[in-house]
Amino acid sequence: MKNKIFKSVIVVGIGSIILMISSCNKTIDAAYQNPNAAVVEPIESILSGVIGSFTYFYSSAGTGFGVVADGLDIGRYVQYYGLYSTSTLDFYGEMGGTPAASDATGGLWGAVYYGQGQNVNRIIEWGAQQQKWDYVGVGWAIRAWGWLELVDAYGDAILRQAFNTSLQQFKYDVQSEFYDSCRAICFRSIAYLNRTDGNVSQSNLAIGDAYFYNGDRSKWIKFVYGILARSYQNLSSKAIYTTNGYADSAIKYANLSLATNADNAYVTVSGGLLSATNNYLGPFRGNIGTLRQSSYIASLMTGLNTTTFTGVTDPRVGYMLRENLNGTYKGCSPWLAANGLSANDHPENFWGNTASGTSTAAPTVDNSRYVFQNTAPFPMMTASEMQFIIAEAAYFKKNYTLALSAYTNAISLNIDMLTTTYPQNILPAMVITPTVKSAYLANPAVVPTVASSLTLSQIMMQKYISMYGYGLHETWVDMRKYHYTDLDPVTGKQVYGDFTPPSGIYLYSTNNGKLTYRFKPRYNSEYLYDIPELTRIGAMALDYNTNECWFSQK
């Protein structure tokens, strides 16, 4: 048999032999592709998943990456939320650090290094090869966002060696370099987003960008300017803020950023019967049934704060918070839960369960509101936030006229965002009409009639209200800038009036009497494989989470 086959092959022409071998190789290559060879995937399909990592990333290799899950822990640090159960103290309400052998508070780390990571690199690399400069610009925008969010949350992290696949352990870089890199990347992103040559196409960008800006490059550019504005205003407590003109830069880039609510950056979802296509905070997912609004936000919005907006009921309260059986708005302490509240004062959960006691489920009829709905858009950046940045920066420059104008615009924009984007399931008596809005903005206890009477506390506490529920990472940056309880230099009162962090037996024991200022790096990558670097930067210490980040150091 071997001889017959050999002879039959010999009589075949040389050209036919080459053709047969070529055909055979193609068949084999198609069936058994080299798993180590780079396979170019459509960057349109990659981008859609990367945008998902802004909030809560899914993949076959892991889930839970994004800002939202970490935000629920931050929400206890800044006292947006508290646990409802009184059976145990709330670990994060006590400002505890990451528990041993836990990936809690590692969601943002995983999003930047894994969910975005090499995926963003491929969007940039293959986008350049295909002359899809809009995709390249978006890729750089996401990288810039990631560096700033990451360093503000974790402090020291991996920059230079971040995506070096030849390494198993990585060197950590200092935090100021992340800020420098973020800004450089922002300008690179803007340069690419401004290109119109090659294969730039709004309709094609919209394929990958269907759940964010739908391919609108002009809005992506504004988003990038917003990142730049944050990067300068985050440093307002540092000495270099005034000497280096950072206030001017914050104002400049905020003015170039989101100007109206039509510019707002929302991560949207399609809804339906799949967990991954619903809002992480909604009743379908069932993730936040144990959380309730805090007593701090409830008091602030109902006029019970003793230093700021005293006696003023905020008309947004019926949009953002939940009632109790008494029809009033009360909240839980992040570390004491509902202790001290009568049964009828227990707030509903965020999906509207009116039962007092321990129920954490959603009611049969879904009457959830605001960012806690199944298909609610989740804001990543808003025009209101940009106006608050201008107000704070102008205040430091003693340009009180600009500060008051931006402050007023910020509140107005936030009210309009609620009434247009989140009008669902609002009680008829709580609907904000134009008359209600005008009356609130005309109240001198909210908006001073004289620009020089505006206080830093008013700016920061209105920003706190306006970003409630979604702007958790940015609110935590703000509170750490003012070290939670710093005093307003003009009034001599706390910037965040009445804010009281846990102390004594209610502060987590390993904090050694200090408040939390950073997350620990993600356990399942760093505390398993990068021990030498963690030891070098001091991250093996139990109270590493209390080390202040660079951006808030004087």
Q: What is the pLDDT of residues 58-107, one digit of tens each?
A: 665 556 789 998 999 999 999 999 888 766 668 899 999 888 889 999 99
> Rounded CA gap, 486 and 49, in Å?
40
pLDDT of residue 16: 41
Tell me, yes or no, if the pTM score tops 0.85.
yes
Amino acid at 360: T
Q: For the chain, where do the domains classified as CATH 1.25.40.390 start and end?
A: 43-70+96-274+524-552
Q: Which residues fall within 8 angstroms of residue 183, CB to CB, at 6 or more apart?
A: 144, 228, 231
Fold of 43-70+96-274+524-552: 1.25.40
Return the C-alpha torsion angle 73, 79, 80, 83, nearest 10.
60
pLDDT of residue 8: 34
Q: By the 8 A CB rule, do 135 and 217 touch? A: no
Amino acid at 211: Y
pLDDT of residue 275: 87
Q: Which of 440, 524, 372 is closest to 64 using CA atoms? A: 524
157: which strand partners?
Answer: 173
Phi, psi of 113 (to 5 degrees): -85, -30
pLDDT of residue 364: 82
pLDDT of residue 1: 40
pLDDT of residue 31: 59
pLDDT of residue 62: 57
> Rounded CA gap, 409 and 417, in Å?
12
pLDDT-flagged residues of the chain (< 70): 1-38, 58-63, 86-89, 355-359
Outline where 67-116 has alpha helix (H): 67-77, 107-110
The CB-based long-range contact list for 480-488 (8 Å cut-off, 24+ gap) reads 480/517, 480/548, 480/549, 480/551, 480/552, 481/234, 481/236, 481/237, 481/551, 481/552, 482/237, 483/237, 483/552, 484/515, 486/237, 488/455, 488/456, 488/457
pLDDT of residue 26: 56
Q: Which residues fall within 8 angstroms of residue 301, CB to CB, at 6 or more apart?
A: 313, 314, 316, 317, 320, 321, 329, 465
Q: By the 8 A CB rule, do 368 and 351 touch? A: yes
pLDDT of residue 98: 85
